[in-house]
Homo-oligomer: A and B are copies of this chain.
């Protein structure tokens, strides 16, 4: 059987259907489905699709077509003519067609399109007749064809590389601009029929002059020129590089869609519009859309005229005075309404529909799954489930993690945001929106906030001393730092809006001002941040709360829970965080950082005492400072264990390099020296001794616990005593003690000995028999993964610290990647920032090796992740695939992780 190269659609029939995307491309398959499926049979402008196989043939055979193509196309054209009752090239009643590309996967803007094909000096009068004498419409269509065709078909066929400024299109545009200038016109629509007529003549002369060829005045020449241009554009420079980036194989090829042109701008009995089967802004099950009488699709987009609502439901402040389609063309509206119902039922999801009415005749141009915001996504998922339109698994898949994220934070009113240009752009480090007055120091942030002001803390970068100010601020904006800089980590943990690494910002602390985009802003000036996008706006933009649908959200997340297999825990460092996370559905704490309790409390006591401990020189000095610290540590641990009553809490022993805590502030240094009864000089010396060339790979984590066992001992004692007291109070504490920065099992053995000793002492002191607990390790050093079989001999659980694993696995210091990672991403060397989403190929491989080896030793080893990646959907899916028991993320990411975990199960089933 010889191959079929042309697939017809229209008149309630189609040769193809939706399942034939590989052969017909996405657009072609969808048009066939709409036109021909027995449940739909919509009035699609008839046309046909030339298959992707023709494209493959074209490139395999020195750019020639299969010999059968010509006749198949001619046959299909005949069918169109019959259905439309017009003839291609007929001077009296001409048929015009569009020629469009359509690959398997959408490649927006990468390939060519030619409209109005078939319009020639011979057919112009016929079209004028069809349009009821609208010559201006016809000459405008003609000049569009000339411009498009000369650019897309003729110039490229001549082998001329389109140099933007000298391209034929630009030259034609110049001619048009001259006319507008001469006549004082503001817009293209001011051009009269005569102007356009004259311009078309000038255009053709110019084309002849530049391209040494006549503009084709023959309809079939135009058609084949268009078809050839589409196939040629598959191997255009832009398309090739787009495919490289997106990983689309070169041999897929594109299909070509030839379709009847219909016009919504043929008069007051014509119109064009866009509609959604449900409201994409809130998800309500109501038909929603806009239309314009006597207009083309472009006119709706251009926004020169205000589109009218299609029905009462679609009315808004802006358009409520305009006549609805339902009133203006009741019959057409009824038809459209029934089509949209059919479409949603058929596709089982909300559809975004384009339609055109040409002289009282409705045509359906396109339908596709409609975009929607977060609240709408959740509502539709739940409603369609209730309506039994979709199943549970589909419902879970209908909300994307980023849509869910929208529900969890206040956001800038989208309309306001559209109307403003960002002042600067940075990295989106903390989600949501925030507006406030600029302050440049943490101290001022606290003071201003006390006076009830809303502030945004703007810093070069932040450090632990800024934490109080960060908490007091609505949002944080830094000029330096990456997605895992101090500011980003802290803000994300709090779910606070934050933008970091905003390089365009120039801050002058002394003058209390900042510069960006040529503007100067002072302390007290208002700015607004979109932390989800990384945009900084000047002024005070209106905010809105997206989380109104809370009941629905909870129902949706429960649905997710019923599907997911991964546990979802949270990273929380305080009892308050723990409580908040529990509300968000956390099933335990995956990371409680004992050092974080020293940051930014109302009382500075713990931090001060920690610093004392750090600069201690003798065991005695250090022990004394540790004894002073003990009650604070115990209190926070107790509060957290209590908040998580019955659920596991992973308590990590001291992790960061000590020098991080050394104050830089002169007054604080004085105070510290005084308290330690040493000179400032001596203090400086001690602080200096803590300096390291590469602190990230220095004296930190368990290395501190080995050299200063008394530090581990204090923290372990605090954990067990807090647990013992809770047990006495009838609670069910469940601590998991986690040793960080481990690279060898002997480090664990060493720390376990301390834990065992302290455990027995605490049991004796409180006269109790047992405290339920586990002893385990963080896996963040590459070597740890490789010797995981040995680690699992001692560790009862592993928790992957993927931040550090990424740092050391890549050799990327997260504080220093600003110098090259942006270039890496831009050049396509890295697909994205590996600190945002786990690098599955490299770091993921290390994780897999570790889990495999660990479970070989200890079958029931508990494995989780506590890095920042725990809240990233792609990373959650990875964690599911490699068989982890849980992920842990910041409280505000918990719902997202629950969704991602459920989706991971469903994707795996596929």
Contacts and interface: CB of A to CB of B under 8 A. Distances in A.
A808 interface: yes
Interface string A823-846: 110011110000000010111011
A811 B804 contact: yes
A697 B842 contact: no
B750 A829 contact: yes
Q: Of residues A695, A746, A782, A819, which shows the largest number of chain B Cβ atoms within 10 Å of its Cβ?
A: A782
A812 interface: yes
Given A694-B815, A783-B811, 18 more contacts: A694-B696, A694-B813, A694-B816, A697-B808, A697-B810, A698-B813, A698-B817, A699-B819, A703-B824, A707-B819, A707-B823, A741-B811, A746-B828, A746-B830, A750-B827, A782-B811, A787-B842, A808-B809
Interface in A795-820: 804, 807-813, 815-817, 819-820
B706 A812 contact: no
Nearest to A706: B823
Contact of A830 (B695, B698, B744, B817): B744
Interface in A719-757: 741, 743-744, 746-747, 750
Interface in A540-596: none
A812 B843 CA distance: 18
18 contacts: A693-B816, A696-B697, A696-B811, A697-B810, A697-B816, A698-B816, A699-B819, A703-B819, A706-B827, A743-B812, A743-B842, A744-B842, A781-B811, A782-B811, A782-B842, A783-B811, A786-B841, A787-B845
A707 B812 CA distance: 15
A829 to B, nearest CB: 4
Contacts of A843: 783
B846 A787 contact: no
A589 B175 CA distance: 67
A696 B696 CA distance: 10
A811 B706 contact: no
A250 interface: no
Contacts of A695: 693-694, 813, 816
A813 B693 contact: yes
A709 to B, nearest CB: 10
Contact of A783 (B786, B819, B842): B842
A692 interface: yes
Contacts of A839: 783
Contacts of A703: 819-820, 824
A815 B783 contact: no
Interface in A293-324: none
Contacts of A829: 706, 744, 746-747, 750
A817 B693 CA distance: 10
A884 B592 CA distance: 45
Contacts of A694: 694-697, 813, 815-816
Contacts of A698: 813, 816-817, 819
A326 B187 CA distance: 124
A707 B744 CA distance: 36
For the complex of A and B, 9 pairs with smallest distance between CB atoms: A694-B813, A783-B842, A697-B813, A698-B816, A699-B819, A693-B815, A782-B782, A746-B829, A692-B816
Contacts of A692: 813, 815-816, 819
A794 to B, nearest CB: 13
Nearest to A829: B746
Contact of A811 (B808, B816, B823): B808
Nearest to A747: B829
Contacts of A786: 809, 841-842, 845-846
Interface string A760-798: 000000000000000000001111001100000000000
Contacts of A841: 786-787
Nearest to A780: B811
Contacts of A750: 827, 829
B743 A811 contact: yes
Nearest to A696: B694
A739 B830 CA distance: 17
Contact of A810 (B781, B809, B812, B823): B781
Given A694-B815, A815-B694, A743 B810 contact: yes
Nearest to A812: B697
A804 to B, nearest CB: 7
A807 B697 contact: yes
A224 to B, nearest CB: 38
Q: Of residues A750, A815, A839, A842, which shows the largest number of chain B Cβ atoms within 10 Å of its Cβ?
A: A842
A839 B839 CA distance: 26
A692 B823 CA distance: 17
A541 B846 CA distance: 53
Interface in A511-547: none
Contacts of A744: 829-830, 842
Given A707-B820, A816-B692, A697 B783 contact: no
Contact of A782 (B696, B808, B819): B808
A816 B697 CA distance: 8
Contacts of A781: 809-811
Q: Of residues A747, A783, A787, A845, which shows the largest number of chain B Cβ atoms within 10 Å of its Cβ?
A: A783
A718 B807 CA distance: 33
A558 to B, nearest CB: 39
A693 B692 CA distance: 9
Interface string A689-716: 0001111111100011011000000000
A846 B697 CA distance: 18
A53 to B, nearest CB: 31
A485 to B, nearest CB: 10
A693 B819 CA distance: 12
A232 to B, nearest CB: 27
A824 B699 CA distance: 12
A211 B53 CA distance: 103
B699 A816 contact: yes
